[in-house]
Structure 1
Amino acid sequence: MQVLITGANGFIGRNLALRLREAGHDVLGATRATSDADLADMVKQAEAVVHLAGANRPDTEAEFEEINDHYTAQLCALLRDRSAAIPVIAASTIQVDRDTPYGRTKANAETHLQALASDSGAPVNICRLVNVFGKWCRPDYNSVVATFCHNIARDLPITISAPDAEVRLVHVDDVITGWLAWLASPGSGAQITAIAPEYRITLQELADRLREYRAIRETHTVGETGTGLGRALYATYISYLPVDDFAYPVTRHGDERGVFAEMLRTEHSGQFSFFTAGPGVTRGGHYHHAKTEKFLVLKGRARFRFYNMDSGETHALDTYGAESIVVETVPGWSHDITNIGEDELICMLWANELFDRDRPDTIAHRLTS
């Protein structure tokens, strides 16, 4: 379908436009530079509208009325002139009950949208948003997350006037996912909606988390980044990295056997490394009581040998890069790995726990041929 986005060059609008195009829709983008005639033409073409245009930190209070109130009334009038009603999503705010220029004008906008639904029968989703965060949001404007991410990524200072103040957050991807689902089945009439999941965090906790993300490059240790708020915040922080910081080095340890480098440590699920070995070189020759490892040969040919420290049982297996076979070490079995090829061996390694020099759980035991 053809979807008209007002406020198309804003933070949410740009994210929405990308997701709509991914889904095969066409986007009509209206901005402050769009003329009244062009807006009217876009409304005639549109098969759905997402109304994002709004002012929350304008230069003058008059802009609140002009953009939040009058522009919404103008858009609703154009939609009434259509021969058929189309679904409309409008970004509103939880602040509509506040007696502020922003709250009052957003409440007026909701009134125009509810009247549109009543007069035309159009399904209208009035989505009352809390603080939206994510990639492409402008720092030092209306998102504390954007400001903190931008500054911390650049080692710039941030100001926290009320560390214990709690902010309510929704991630832009969750906002858009909810809207796309609604457009697929919009129902009827005016609907007041919210976005889930919603997260709550204090300003101090937010700053601390973002500083932890910055420190990953020094500590090589990553915390919760795979689900929920951790996933969304980490993705947002990374999106504010300057292009010169898209890459960073890791420490390489080399000797006559080859190179070893630790890539990433996790707080609760071990660490990732890689190593190399020249032809004929053997690495390892030890066993563990509780530690386990997974090896994946990326390049070359390797022979893994195992010896059971209790029964004396032995085992050996060969693997090479093109196979993509994971070889696991088992507690109580001594093991080593030998490059049996003619080229350099490159192997990826995951250990289930972080290496602790005081308790390494790595006991030397050379395997005999």
Structure 2
Amino acid sequence: MKLLVTGANGFVGKNLLVHLQEMPDVDVVAYTRSNTVDELPELLKGVDAVIHLAGINRPQDDSEFVKGNTDLTQCLADALEALAKHHGKRIPVLYSSSIQAERNNPYGLSKKAAEDALLQLEQNTGISVYIYRLANVFGKWCKPNYNSMVATFCHNIIRDIPIEIHNEDAEVKLVYVDDVVQSLITTARQAVNATQNNEELPKTGFVEANPVYTETVGSIAKQLKAFKHSRETLISERVGTGFTRKLYSTYVSYLPTDAFTYTVPKYVDERGVFVEMLKTPDAGQFSYFTAHPGITRGGHYHHTKTEKFLVIKGKACFKFRHMVTGEFYELFTEGESPEIVETVPGWSHDITNVGDDEMVVMLWANEIFDRENPDTYACPVVKPHSN
């Protein structure tokens, strides 16, 4: 599949091209600001579909809206119509419009006129046209202090630059750049395959990249500040799913290289070191500790707290004793054979380095350690004497 991508150096264009480069069956012809509309007929040769992303949204003069949005799209439509009429080739076109096309402002009017030019092209030639009225697109590589609130907020909050919010309760609709890219690629493939195989085309007209998220300006700013604060508290936000996952990935993408790392506290005593890495609001915390040869750690029990231990270096002996029955159990594990050891409420437990070298152990607990209510009670594990 060969695609012409206009606006290839723009925010969505950069993300799209990287995804397309990962696909061995796709060739890309890029149209950027270094090209002219006169080159379009030549660039369209051999192309299977057009993804039209080029446009103007922050001009110095409103007249640039017409030139960069309406006129450019009309030139593209004219070139596509000429190919269809003179060579019988109907090349599907996907257009990134904007929800602003519904509004009576210079930008919106120019995008609406561009949509109309493509819809007229479809009517004149039967060329398949897919129009995306995109909400506010956010994600990596979007230029801050330009036309994206999310990009500006991420850039400024990371660098301790104040952000301006005029109405915290104002709602905005957002769509993530990878979701846009995936939708564009899927629609382009379906349109090309249907065109080449004389099959039924996907429904043309207006297409939506999903999911679309509705958030308030204030809630976005609050969440981004919480991401920043999490480096101090070590408590991660819920960044594994949905909008928060995508917003966090966007936030991290604006980190300068000197902020790729951050330090965490290290607690040292005669036994070794203990380091907390990550805490979560509802899924516990992750830590690691070391122990010198012969050193025993633990010697306590919990009523509710549970833990998982993974020895990643060295040799360990785990001992357990039931707090009511006195039942005793011990086991051995080592870093060469990864094995999770789980502590059980109501059993006192400890871990001893039985190797000749320092032992390193990764630890997960199902709750954040609370010094005021630690649910940790000292009780050394004593191995019963054999008869």
1:307 to 294, 317, 321: 321
Q: Which amino acid aligns with 1:44?
A: K
1:20 — aligned with what?
A: 20
| SS of alignment partner, residue 322 of structure 1 | coil
Q: In 2, distance between residues paired with 1:31 and 1:184?
A: 22
| SS of alignment partner, residue 369 of structure 2 | coil
Report deviation, 1:97. 2.3
TM-score scaled by structure 2? 0.93
2:117 — aligned with what?
A: 112
1:350 — aligned with what?
A: 364
Q: In 1, distance between residues paired with 2:312 and 2:40?
A: 56
Q: Give the percent of matched residue pairs that are identical in Structure 1 and Structure 2.
A: 50
Report deviation, 1:120. 2.5
- Matches for 1:163-202 after TM superposition, within 5 Å: 163-186=168-191, 187=201, 190-202=204-216
Report deviation, 1:242. 0.5
- Matches for 1:217-296 after TM superposition, within 5 Å: 217-296=231-310
Q: In 2, distance between residues paired with 1:366 and 1:206?
A: 49
| SS of alignment partner, residue 114 of structure 2 | helix
Report Cα offsets for 1:165-190 as digits up to 9, x if no partner. Answer: 11110100111111222123232563
Report deviation, 1:134. 0.2
Q: In 1, distance between residues paired with 2:36 and 2:263?
A: 50
Q: In 2, distance between residues paired with 1:149 and 1:333?
A: 47
1:298 — aligned with what?
A: 312
Report deviation, 1:119. 2.4
Asked whether 1:208 is paired with 2:222, we answer yes
Q: Which amino acid aligns with 2:170?
A: A
Report Cα offsets for 1:273-308 as digits up to 9, x if no partner. Answer: 000111111111110000000111111111111111
Report Cα offsets for 1:46-83 as digits up to 9, x if no partner. Answer: 22111001111111111111011010011111112323
Contact 1:118/1:189 (8 A) holds in 2: no
Report Cα offsets for 1:77-109 as digits up to 9, x if no partner. Answer: 111232311221100111212121111111110
2:91 — aligned with what?
A: 86
Report Cα offsets for 1:184-213 as digits up to 9, x if no partner. Answer: 323256320112111111111111100000
| SS of alignment partner, residue 174 of structure 1 | helix
2:332 to 315, 318, 321: 318
| SS of alignment partner, residue 44 of structure 2 | helix
332-341 vs 144-153, which moves further: 332-341
TM-score scaled by structure 1? 0.97
Report Cα offsets for 1:143-164 as digits up to 9, x if no partner. Answer: 0000000000111110111111
Contact 2:154/2:254 (8 A) holds in 1: yes
Q: Which amino acid aligns with 2:176?
A: H
Report deviation, 1:345. 0.8
Unpaired runs of at least 5, structure 2: 192-200
Report Cα offsets for 1:291-341 as digits up to 9, x if no partner. Answer: 000111111111111111111111111111122211100000111111111
Report deviation, 1:263. 0.4
Contact 1:132/1:170 (8 A) holds in 2: yes
1:122 — aligned with what?
A: 127
Q: In 2, distance between residues paired with 1:244 and 1:292?
A: 37
Q: In 2, distance between residues paired with 1:75 and 1:11?
A: 21
1:341 — aligned with what?
A: 355
Unpaired runs of at least 5, structure 1: none
Contact 2:315/2:355 (8 A) holds in 1: yes
1:149 — aligned with what?
A: 154
Q: In 2, distance between residues paired with 1:157 and 1:266?
A: 28
| SS of alignment partner, residue 192 of structure 1 | strand
Q: Which amino acid aligns with 1:11?
A: F
260-269 vs 189-198, which moves further: 189-198
Report deviation, 1:31. 0.9
| SS of alignment partner, residue 324 of structure 1 | coil
Q: In 2, distance between residues paired with 1:363 and 1:193?
A: 60
Q: In 2, distance between residues paired with 1:67 and 1:79?
A: 18
Report deviation, 1:37. 4.3
335-344 vs 176-185, which moves further: 176-185
Q: In 1, distance between residues paired with 2:363 and 2:92?
A: 52
